[in-house]
Structure 1
């Protein structure tokens, strides 16, 4: 089946918020072999909503719409959708009782009339009851097409997708199957990867496509197969994935759709090893990436964000002489920072960073973008200096990826891990 996602809201179009709902929804649809054809963001106007629905209905079997279900005047989705499906709005007593109970719990005695309107639903719709919020979802089926209208608040949308929409979609028969497989590579740019596997990609059958999804320092390869026989698609795709994996063996770090930091957490947890960080120019960004992974507590012991020289000396026991002679941005300083963090937090490994993220602070000998990174391991400490040339945010992100890459390589070397 083919799906289209429509997000409604001026706040998305003017950049006030980022549309993370669509990415999450697409991830939930993938295991059901539902292919997302298009994601569209539109203004909260009757004309835009009607046009988007009309266009989506011509090309998709499933249309999922988020946003525009609030009680204020700028939310016109429900009235527009009622006209689109040639129906009316009715007040659902169960939803109204739920909304009133939520207001009572918060201490309000009288609920404004405007909030009662959140109980208004399409007369011909199936109500998707929202246990965690005031705006119910609605679903409509017409001409074999399935439409679902959901609130834009992420935690409410996720509840309704998980508990209301996905069970319905699982029950629908599908003629077309979609199979996705992934490889995560680190340390080789997109064009170089493509060159190395050009012959494999050229020989792929037409129903299997390869997408390159680059980020700073890494490239995710997504293999998508479309057809009628899922087992055949799986076998064909995995054979190609294995070919690519063998060709790119030095750069492949994971064979599933996970992040680099999640890969590291899993490897460390499996080996029973621990990690800490000592960050200056990255300001805790590396530790934030690690602790953002579920299960990181089994691996990560602590972090020291030592921005000043005094902090480096007092917390990490960097030698004052090193700072005086080599400077804060130096390989000797980050080596002492990493080894100090490893001792203080009693970990097996530690990452340390110090650099000039910019846009100010650079000199002729230490320009903006110069970053020194050290990784202390069980048996040795690796130290390297990088010269990035981007703005502050990108320099910090590149430093984090570089540090994690050094950590991964040292970990693999010391443990002789088979990371295929």
Structure 2
């Protein structure tokens, strides 16, 4: 089973909007065993759309097109569908009644001909009724390929995918099972990680594939299994993860895409009824932002001081000016003092502090650009580590955030 996702719209091609539809559709198809062969973004041009549909005919099993179903003249997907299938547009009375109710009943204005034209559909299509919008979806088949046209508005597209498209695809096709499991690792780069697990990777069963998904400070390892027996796929992946944990248990912090370091850390703090605070300089409050992005974080996050300026480190956090003068504002003693003061101010079990030169200039310290000190105050004391995250500025900040969360997570788990 193979599918191609096609987004229609110049606004995507010029970068005016970001295509989130393709990602949602791909995940939805993957869950029911339909793999995405490719994703295409094409312009609002009749010949381009026609040639795209023609090139996909009998190449893939399913083509899902989003966009171009609006009421304005630049929305041409519906008419182009008619041309491709040598069909004509007719009024769908159910859609017309729905559009009329929306315009006259909800928006309280007279319906126009442009609004009524939303109810026009190819005569031979199966209408996918759009309960949350005016543009219906369309399901048409030609030889060995199913063509599905959906509105480009994300919440309308999602409604139709979940309530119309996926149920119909499940009924129409016999599909293999696809099982994914993602292992979240921190603190080891992609190349070093690959070296450590090379033997394990080389001996994976043929039905299980491994993918490396690196990002600053972390690498996700995705195991994918495909086959006819869902239980055996789950069992096969479980066995491989058990073997993997014996090799890299020191850098595994969680499983599945939703288990980011901040989520895992939050679960740990909640379970142990512990609290945390931050004192941030070069990261500008981003550690606090990441921690509080997790629902329920109010139960363990106490607060933050963003002491970007040196005077704030002194007046708000209470870092002694003598420490700053002796060691400079970017130093281990200052980072440790910041962490201890945050722990005290917020009465928290743990506190993270950062101070560094993110660039592009050195600022008030002579430390090299990219240098960051991360300190952690614990119930037993305080410690710090020095890093150089290089450049550019954004990379320094992002890596400092991830490394800070990694350090605090490992410190807490070490003491359990």
Bigger Rg, structure 1 or 2: 2
> Equivalences for 1:181-220 in 2 at 5 Å?
181-220=181-220
Distance, in Å, in 2 between the alignment partners of 1:169 and 1:315 is: 60
Q: Match for residue 351 of structure 2?
A: 350
Q: Match for residue 283 of structure 1?
A: 284
Q: Match for residue 153 of structure 2?
A: 153
CA gap 1:317/1:237 in 2 versus in 1, 3 angstroms: same
CA contact 1:379–1:414 (8 Å) conserved in 2:
no
Distance, in Å, in 1 between the alignment partners of 2:229 and 2:107 is: 56
> Equivalences for 1:375-386 in 2 at 5 Å?
375-386=376-387
| Structure 1 residues 326-372: Cα deviation after superposition (integer angstroms, max 9, x where no partner) | 33322222223223333333332222222222223358832221222
Give the aligned length: 415
SS of match in other structure, 1:262: helix
What is the aligned-residue RMSD (CA, Å)? 2.6
Q: Match for residue 418 of structure 1?
A: none
TM-score, structure 2 as length reference? 0.89
Q: Which shows bigger deviation, 218-227 or 92-101?
A: 92-101
How far off is 1:173 after superposition? 4.2
SS of match in other structure, 1:58: coil
Q: Match for residue 88 of structure 1?
A: 88
Q: Match for residue 404 of structure 1?
A: 405
Q: Match for residue 337 of structure 2?
A: 336
Q: Which shows bigger deviation, 391-400 or 269-278?
A: 269-278
| Structure 1 residues 293-333: Cα deviation after superposition (integer angstroms, max 9, x where no partner) | 33333333333333223333344333333334433322222
CA contact 1:183–1:245 (8 Å) conserved in 2:
no
CA contact 2:265–2:409 (8 Å) conserved in 1:
yes
CA contact 1:302–1:345 (8 Å) conserved in 2:
yes
Q: Match for residue 164 of structure 1?
A: 164
Q: Match for residue 387 of structure 1?
A: 388
Q: Match for residue 140 of structure 2?
A: 140
> Equivalences for 1:168-317 in 2 at 5 Å?
168-258=168-258, 259-317=260-318
SS of match in other structure, 1:133: coil
How far off is 1:4 after superposition? 2.2
| Structure 1 residues 164-186: Cα deviation after superposition (integer angstroms, max 9, x where no partner) | 32333333442422222221111
Distance, in Å, in 2 between the alignment partners of 1:304 and 1:156 is: 42
SS of match in other structure, 1:152: coil
CA gap 1:349/1:167 in 2 versus in 1, 3 angstroms: farther
Tell whether 2:125 aligns with 1:128. no
Distance, in Å, in 1 between the alignment partners of 2:24 and 2:299 is: 26
Distance, in Å, in 2 between the alignment partners of 1:294 and 1:121 is: 43
Distance, in Å, in 2 between the alignment partners of 1:313 and 1:93 is: 72
Distance, in Å, in 1 between the alignment partners of 2:383 and 2:169 is: 51
4+ residue stretches of structure 1 with deviation over 6 A?
A: none
TM-score, structure 1 as length reference? 0.88
Distance, in Å, in 2 between the alignment partners of 1:371 and 1:104 is: 60
SS of match in other structure, 2:304: strand
CA gap 1:68/1:223 in 2 versus in 1, 3 angstroms: same
Distance, in Å, in 2 between the alignment partners of 1:47 and 1:11 is: 18
Q: Match for residue 79 of structure 2?
A: 79
CA contact 2:281–2:308 (8 Å) conserved in 1:
yes
SS of match in other structure, 2:415: helix
SS of match in other structure, 2:246: helix
How far off is 1:376 after superposition? 2.3
Distance, in Å, in 1 between the alignment partners of 2:124 and 2:55 is: 21
CA contact 2:330–2:365 (8 Å) conserved in 1:
no
The unaligned stretches of length 5 or more in structure 2 are: none
Q: Which shows bigger deviation, 198-207 or 401-410?
A: 198-207
